[in-house]
Amino acid sequence: MVNREKREDARFVTDRMLGKLSTWLRILGHDTVYAADIKTTEFEADEDEDRAIISFAEHEARILLTRDKNLALAARKKGVQCVQIKTDEVMEQLKELLRHHINLNLEPVPARCSECNGKIRKVEEGEEGILKGKSYVPAHMIGKWHFWVCEHCGRIYWEGSHWRNMREKLGQLKEFYETH
């Protein structure tokens, strides 16, 4: 196992082409804002989307991830850390980040909502009511499994649904990381 110094988790902003990558980065616990979610709320209407993303990345000290060569160039000109993603498949995209020496977590962690990037927290004993209100939570699991809830959108997560299947895929990524 390669030792990595413990640093603050890398934070990202991703362009519209990278929705799936955004989901995965959140599953890995990285604070990741998807460009489509920031445009209208936080920026002046006259600002074009590329400029808006770059200033957002700059302002929040996030690493910009984009498929767009011109956006990547413009970001670098402004001194914004940026990775131009060149592949389509999400595992390959994660490998690209590793190749660029981005410090990625390679274990899924219950920290971020993969839908909205909100923080998730454990559902405590006595709070089962919030689980019963969700039709996608199997009733027989309540009281047996640990659940997490997104503080922003209320989505419920549990180990079986969300993180378990991802470990396998991440296994290959770890091998890749350890050999590069």
Binding site for Zn ion (CB under 5 A): 113, 115-116, 118, 150, 152-153, 155
Shortest distance in whole angstroms from residue 114 CB to Zn ion = 8
Shortest distance in whole angstroms from residue 110 CB to Zn ion = 12
Which is closer to Zn ion, CB of 39 or CB of 152? 152
Which is closer to Zn ion, CB of 34 or CB of 177? 34
Which is closer to Zn ion, CB of 147 or CB of 177? 147
Shortest distance in whole angstroms from residue 33 CB to Zn ion = 13
Long-range pairs, 153-162, Cβ under 8 A, ≥24: 153/113, 153/115, 153/116, 153/118, 154/130, 155/113, 155/115, 155/116, 156/123, 156/130, 156/131, 157/110, 157/113, 157/120, 162/27, 162/108, 162/114
Residues whose CB falls within 8 Å of the CB of residue 60, separated by 6 or more in sequence, listed in order:
11, 13, 33
Give the CA distances from residue 154 to residues 6, 121, 151, in Å, rounded to whole numbers and listed in that order: 30, 10, 6
Which is closer to Zn ion, CB of 75 or CB of 137? 137
Which is closer to Zn ion, CB of 17 or CB of 116? 116
Shortest distance in whole angstroms from residue 162 CB to Zn ion = 12
Shortest distance in whole angstroms from residue 157 CB to Zn ion = 9
